[in-house]
Amino acid sequence: MKKQHIKLTEIDERYLITLTSKGQLSARVFRRATALLQLHHGTTLSAAAQNVKVVSQTVSRWRDAYLESGLQFLFDRERAGRPHKFDGNQRARLTALACSAAPRGYARWSLRLLADRAVELALCENISKSAVRAVLKKTNSSRI
């Protein structure tokens, strides 16, 4: 098979080496960076693909994306979809509310009570008990 090398700039090569040696990197970005470095050092598409455990068409797409847009392709673009309904501050305040003492007359918070109190305290305009459950589930709270 014909070798399909790429020539990285010195700055890009140093950046990729630094990036892959840090250890604080998602597997997806690590694979892309490693494959690019291997192509730069003369490895074939199929060998680079085998080393990072993907198919050669994937490495070919990564190579083409690098040639088109540079190192921006390493990181995923924002995906379409519904935005988060609650930001981090609202989630934290809801979790703090769930960890507080239950209202008078109740032994503990219920999801419905939490949802009603969150609206009363203007943490959000409206929230369902299932949304409260989802927020608390992400915090590993024992309150649900």
Residues 23 and 51 in one domain: yes
Residues 24 and 64 in one domain: yes
Note the pLDDT tens digit of each residue in 57-91.
999 999 999 999 899 889 887 778 887 788 889 99
Establish if 80 belongs to a structural domain.
no
Residues 69 and 94 in one domain: no
Given this model, what pLDDT does residue 124 score?
86
Given this model, what pLDDT does residue 78 score?
78
Determine the structural domain holding residue 39 and report its residue range: 10-74
Residues 49 and 105 in one domain: no
Establish if 144 belongs to a structural domain.
no
Establish if 143 belongs to a structural domain.
no
Q: For residue 135, count other CB atoms closer than 10 A to its CB.
A: 22
Positions of the chain with pLDDT under 70? 1-4, 140-144
Query: Residue 66's closest CA among 34, 36, 95, 94?
Result: 36
How far, in Å, CA of 132 to CA of 23, rounded? 35
